[in-house]
Chains A and B, each alone.
Chain A
Amino acid sequence: MTAIAAFTAVTLVACGSDAAETPEKPTGPVTIKVWAWYPEFQGVVDLFNKTHSDIKIEWTNAGTGQDQYTKLQTALKAGKGAPDVAMLELQEIPTFQLTKHLVDLGKYGANDVKGDYVDWAWKQVSTGDQVYAIPVDAGPMAMMYRDDIFSKYGLTVPKTWDEYKAQAEKLKTASAGKSFITDFGANDGGFMTGLMWQAGAQPYSYDIANPTNIGVNVNSAEAKKVIEYWEGMVNGGLADSTAFHTTDFYNGLNTEKYATYLAAGWGPGYIQANAAKSSGKWKVAPLPQWTAGENKQGDWGGSSFAVTDQAKYPDIAAKVAMEIFGAKNTEAWKIGIDKAFLFPTATPVLESADFKNKEYEFFGGQKVNEVFVPAYNAIGPFSWSPFNSYNFNQLTTNLNQAIEKKTSWTAALDTAQENVKTYATQQGFQVQ
C-alpha cells in the first residue's frame, strides 16, 4: 500500500502546477523531522523507517500539548527550526492555519484518504478540498467507573446526568464524604469543552475559508447548563475540583477517592501509567445524557499530523503524515492501540474486528470499544477558534478563580465571553 500512496503522491505532484514547491529530490533517503508526543511512538517510527528505504524519520518529542506549541510557534515565527511534520491537536489547527504555516495536503493527495475518516473528524482538519492535517487519534468521551466502589456502596450505573447526581449524593453519604463521584478538572479546557460539546454548545462559528469573521458564543445557554450543573456538584461536595493530571489527581484515582472518571478514549493510557494500582478495577459506560435515551457526544483531545511551511520536501512530508499512522498501516496501529491506548480516527482500523473485540486487561477484560466506537460515531460537528490557547486560557483561568474564590461559575463564563470578544476584536477579527 505504501507503493500505491507513494505513486499517487508523486503523480499528483507531477500533475500539479506548484513545481516551485517541490525541489529536486536528493539521491539518498530524505530525512523528515517529526515532532510528536504519542506514547510508545518510538516503535511506530522504527516501523516506518524499516519499511521505507527512501525516507528516514527523525523523531523528537518536543513536549506535550502547549509546551510543544510554544516551541513550534517560536520556530515558525523565526523562520527556521520547525519540523517537517508536527503533531497538532485538532483544536489547534485553525491557529496554525491562520498564520499560514500549514501546507495544504490536498495538493499532495490527502483527499484520496478522506473516505477513511468519519465526517466530523475530517471536517476538523479541512475546508473544502484543502486539507491541513491528517487526523490520527480522537477523544470520544465515556464514563469510566470503579466497579469495586460501585458495588461496595451499591451504586447503579447512571444513564443521565440527573441519575449521575443522585448516585453522587448516595456515594457521599455512604462513604461518609471520603469518596467523590468524580473530579472536575477545571484546568483542562479540552475536558470542559468536550462536556459542553455534548450538551450542544457551539462556542465559536469559524471557517478557515473566511478567516476574518468569527462568531463568539462562549456563554451560550448550553454551556451555562453544563457549568451550572458542575458548580452545583463541586459546591455541594459531590465532585472534587483538584486539577487534572496532577499527583493528587492520579492519587485520587489510585485510591478510592474518585468513583468515576469522565474520560476520553486516550484516557486509560494515562491512568495505566500513573495510577497502576487501580488497573483491572475500572469499567466503561457511555457518558451520561442530558435527556434519557439520547446519544449525544463530544470530543476531548485527539490529534493529527500537519506539514509545516518549513518542510523542504512537502510532498514527502505529506506522505509521512498520511502513512505513519495511516488507515491501512495496521502494524503501526497495533502499537498505537495495544501499547499507547490511542483511539484511532481511521474507520478501517475502528471497524476492524480486532479493535472492536479487543479485551482490555485494564478494564477487567471488558470490550470497551463497544462503548467508545458508538460514542465516536455520534460526535457532532464543532468548530474551533483560531486562538485556541487564549480560548482555553479564558475558560480555565476564570473557572478556576471562581472555584478558588467561591464566586459564580456562570459569571466566570460571562467574563470569558467578554475577554474573548475583546481579544478577537483587538486581533482584527469581525466579531459577531
Chain B
Amino acid sequence: MTQVQTRSAAVAPAAAGPTQRRPFFGRAREAATGWLFVLPFAVLLVAFLLLPMAYAFKISLYRSTLIEGEVFAWFDNYQQAIDDPLVREGVLRVLIFGLIQTPVMIGLALLAALLIDAATSRFSRVFRLAAFVPYAVPVVIGTLMWGFLYSKSIGPLAWTGIDFVGSDTVLASLGNIVTWQWAGYNMIVLYAALQGVPKEIYESAKIDGAGQVQIALRIKTPMISSALVLATLFTIMGTLQFFTEPLILQPLNPGAITQHYTPNVYAYNQAFSFQQYNYSAAISFLLGAVVFVGSYIFLFATRKRSALR
C-alpha cells in the first residue's frame, strides 16, 4: 500500500504540472504497457474468481426445490444459514480449532526457522528440506497416510489404546495433520525473511553482549514480524476454510466427523450430496465474508507489525 501511494504521489504532480514535457502519447503507451503486464493476471482473476463469485452470489439469491423448481428468494438462504445450528456448530468448531492450532503451528515454524538460521552445518540444509517435505505431499495423500497411522488395529500407535478418531480426540488429530502439513511451509517463509535481515545487526548485538537466544528472541523475531503476520494470516484464512482433512478422514468415524463438521464440508455436502446448490452458495458466501472480516480484523490489530498499513 505504502509503495503504491508514494508512486501515485510522485506521478500526480508531474501530470498536473505545467512543465509537462512528455507527450500524452508516451504516457498512454506507458499505461498500455502497464495494462499489458497486468492483463494475464486480470484475465485469470475475472475468469476464475470474479465471475464464479458473481455466479455464486446470483444463485445464492434463488431457491430451488426438487418439486417446484427455482424461484427468486432474496436473502432467504442467508437467513436460513444464519439460523442454521449446524452452520454455527461448524463455525464454532473451526474457531476453536484455529485458536489452538494457529499459535502452535506458527510457534513450531518459527522455532524451526530460528534453529536452522542459527545452525550453519550441512545438517541444517537437510533439516530444512525434511521439514518442507510434508508440504510437497498433496493434502489428500497426507491425510490418507495419517488415517492409516491413526488406525486402531494396524497403526503404529495402536498399542496406546487411544482412539485417534473418537469424538473427543479427532479435532486434535486433525490439528496434528494440518500442523504436519503446513509447519514446514511456514518455516520456509520465516526462514526466507530471516535471510533478509542484515548480518551486521547480529554482530553489533554480539558486541553488546547478547547471546544466541537473546538475538533470536529480541532481534530476529521482531525483525521478521511482518513475515510472521503474513504466515499467521494465511493460516487463519486456511483454518476457516478447513475442508480436505475432515472430508477424507470422515469415513473412519462418521459419528465424530459429521457431514457438517466444518462450514465448508457442510456447504460441499449441501451442494453435491443433497442438490441444494442455492443454499450451499449462500453458506459459501457467508463463509467468504467471515474470512474477509476475520483477516481484516487480524490485519488491523497487527497493522503496526505487518508493514501493511
- Partner-B contacts on A (CB < 8 A): 66, 70, 73-74, 77, 98-99, 186-187, 211-212, 242-243, 245-248, 251-252, 255, 257, 386-387, 389-390, 393, 396-397, 399-405, 423, 426-429
Contact = CB atoms under 8 A, between A and B. Distances in A.
A401 B255 contact: yes
27 contacts: A70-B272, A70-B273, A73-B272, A73-B275, A74-B272, A98-B66, A186-B255, A211-B67, A243-B252, A246-B252, A247-B148, A247-B153, A252-B153, A255-B153, A257-B153, A387-B274, A389-B273, A389-B274, A390-B273, A393-B269, A397-B254, A400-B256, A401-B255, A405-B255, A426-B65, A429-B66, A429-B67
Contacts of B66: 98-99, 386-387, 427-429
Contact of B65 (A74, A390, A428): A428
**Those 5 A-B pairs whose CB atoms lie nearest each other, nearest first:** A400-B255, A428-B67, A404-B255, A428-B65, A70-B272
* Residue from A77, A245, A248, A405 with most neighbouring chain B CB atoms (10 Å): A248
B179 interface: no
Contact of A212 (B67, B166, B277): B67
A401 B258 contact: yes
A18 B166 CA distance: 56
B253 interface: yes
Interface string B249-279: 0011111101100000000010011110100
Contacts of A99: 66, 275
B151 A396 contact: no
Contacts of A403: 255
B44 interface: no
B72 to A, nearest CB: 16
Nearest to A401: B255
Given A248-B153, A427-B67, A405 B251 contact: no
Contacts of A255: 153
Given A387-B66, A427-B65, A187 B152 contact: no
Contacts of A257: 153
Contacts of B254: 186-187, 243, 396-397, 400
Interface string B113-157: 000000000000000000000000000000000011001111000
A382 to B, nearest CB: 21
Contacts of B251: 187, 243, 245-246
Given A187-B251, A428-B67, A77 B277 contact: yes
B33 interface: no
B68 A428 contact: yes
B244 interface: no
Nearest to A211: B67
B64 to A, nearest CB: 9
A400 B253 contact: yes
B86 to A, nearest CB: 10
Question: Which interface class (under 10, 10 to 19, 20 to 34, 35 or more) fits B?
Answer: 20 to 34
B167 interface: yes
Contacts of B259: 393, 397
A426 B67 CA distance: 9
Contacts of A427: 65-67
A257 to B, nearest CB: 8
A399 B148 CA distance: 24
Given A404-B253, A428-B65, A251 B273 contact: no
B255 A248 contact: no
Contacts of A247: 147-148, 151, 153-154
Interface in B219-259: 251-256, 258-259
Contacts of A428: 65-68
A105 B154 CA distance: 48
A404 B154 contact: no
Given A427-B67, A429-B67, A404 B256 contact: yes
B49 to A, nearest CB: 19
Nearest to B269: A393
A22 B147 CA distance: 49
A38 to B, nearest CB: 21
A70 B271 CA distance: 9
Contacts of A186: 254-255
B30 to A, nearest CB: 43
Interface string B36-63: 0000000000000000000000000000
Given A99-B66, A247-B147, 11 more contacts: A66-B273, A77-B277, A211-B67, A248-B151, A393-B269, A396-B254, A397-B258, A400-B253, A404-B255, A427-B66, A428-B65
Residue of A73, A386, A402 with most chain B CB atoms under a 10 A cut-off: A73
Contacts of B253: 243, 400, 404
Contacts of B256: 400, 404
A418 B96 CA distance: 30
Nearest to A77: B277
A389 B275 CA distance: 9
Q: Which of B66, B68, B253, B269 has the most CB of A within 10 A?
A: B66
A74 to B, nearest CB: 7
B249 to A, nearest CB: 10
Nearest to B158: A248
